[in-house]
Amino acid sequence: MEELNFEGRTVIVTGAGRGIGRAYALLLASRGAGVVVADLGASTDGMGVDGDDPAADVVAEIEAAGGRAVGVRADVSTPEGAQTIVDAAVSAFGGVDAVINNAGIVRVADWLEVPAEEYQRHLEVHYLGSLWLARAAWPHLKESGSGRIVNTISPAMLGNPMMVHYGSSKGAVYGLTRNLALEGMEHGINVNAVSPGAGTRMAEAAADSLSAEIMEYMRTALTPELVAPLGVYLAHPSSQVTGEAFNVAGGMVNRMAVVNTQGIYDTELTVETIASSFDQIMTINEAAQPQVVAVAAMPGA
């Protein structure tokens, strides 16, 4: 197959100074994209800022390899930070064709002991950060004609020990993905979500909840470079999917779907009908249908 290139396209990658975001930025630049490397240089738990400027390091790496990139040290969690990132894209490259919302934070902790400000911060960085970037970039994505947004969710969204604050904030990003996909349809803007697994700094920070064997496996087999191809594909204009979510780790890629089972239909529904037909309500068979955005958009669906 012909190589998918990004010549003439501008892609914003948030959290691109480290880990998975860095891998996205390097891959995109190697395919010809003008890359906006946005990173605050945040501590892993998101409650502070490191002294270093990782975005600048990644820009230097891209330029040394002959690519085009601009760095922005900004906080995605505020509308102003998001606007600064979009403005940098427009002034460096003249527009925005795709946004990869990848910036993220984590701290493993008992949900009853997580302070209110950490719940707030997880929502601000993951949910609001993705929302502000999408909103600021939207006019440019419309103008692009083939705008793409790739959000970042997590397997923890579906339940992980000691991650109520983190996992539920990623669930909000999933809801955002579905709703923006609907809004983007008439403008050719596709919006999807990636649920990655990679042995990054973040994974090290979550190591308390993982066994030593799993951590070693993540470091060696689950590289950020084995996550990047999926997000980069979804950012490409040839990708036609929207409103979907995918798992990617260590070479495995699959679709994550919310499935509606056939269930029951009874206009005389009672509590007892539900109790006696519960198995049927739960059964996933060939009649079960994944909830796709196109169906959700149909009146009455």
Ligand X SMILES: NC(=O)c1ccc[n+]([C@@H]2O[C@H](COP(=O)([O-])OP(=O)(O)OC[C@H]3O[C@@H](n4cnc5c(N)ncnc54)[C@H](O)[C@@H]3O)[C@@H](O)[C@H]2O)c1
What residues act catalytically?
Answer: 166
Rounded to a whole number of angstroms, the minimum distance from the CB of residue 213 to ligand X is 16
- Number of chain positions touching ligand X (CB under 6 A): 32
Lookup: tokens for 2:
């012909």
Binding mask 128-167 for ligand X (x = CB under 6 A): -x----------------------x-x-------------
Range in contact with ligand X (rule: CB under 6 A) among 69-77, 136-144, 238-246, 264-272:
69-77
* Residue 69 interacting with ligand X (CB under 6 A): no
DSSP-based three-state secondary structure for 20:
helix
Among 89, 103, 191, 228, binds ligand X (CB under 6 A): 103
Q: At what angle do helices 54-64 and 19-30 cross, to 10 degrees?
A: 30
Range in contact with ligand X (rule: CB under 6 A) among 61-69, 75-83, 180-188, 261-269:
75-83
Residue 252, H or E segment = strand 252-256
* Residue 40 interacting with ligand X (CB under 6 A): yes
Residue 116, CA distances (Å) to 59, 123, 131, 209, 244 in order: 35, 11, 21, 21, 31
Among 6, 26, 27, 46, binds ligand X (CB under 6 A): 46
Rounded to a whole number of angstroms, the minimum distance from the CB of residue 43 to ligand X is 8
Residue 273, CA distances (Å) to 267, 276, 280, 281 in order: 11, 5, 11, 11
Can you name the residues that pair with 70 across neighbouring β-strands? Answer: 36
* Residue 192 interacting with ligand X (CB under 6 A): no
Whether the CB-CB separation of 36 and 13 falls below 8 Å is answered with: yes
CA 294 – CA 192 distance, rounded (Å): 13
* Residue 76 interacting with ligand X (CB under 6 A): yes
Binding mask 165-184 for ligand X (x = CB under 6 A): --------------------
Among 70, 105, 232, 245, binds ligand X (CB under 6 A): 105
What is the 8-class DSSP label of residue 40?
Answer: -
Among 18, 122, 140, 178, binds ligand X (CB under 6 A): 18
CB nearer to ligand X: pick between 33 and 153: 153
Antiparallel, parallel or unpaired: β 98-100 and 34-38: unpaired
Range in contact with ligand X (rule: CB under 6 A) among 19-27, 136-144, 207-215, 273-281:
19-27
Range in contact with ligand X (rule: CB under 6 A) among 87-95, 97-105, 111-119, 177-185:
97-105
CB nearer to ligand X: pick between 9 and 18: 18
DSSP-based three-state secondary structure for 203:
helix
Which of these, 124, 138, 126, 12, lies nearest to 78 by C-alpha position?
124
DSSP-based three-state secondary structure for 279:
helix
CA 219 – CA 203 distance, rounded (Å): 9
Give contact residues for ligand X (rule: CB under 6 A).
Answer: 14-15, 17-21, 39-42, 44, 46, 54, 75-77, 102-105, 125, 129, 152, 154, 196-198, 200-203
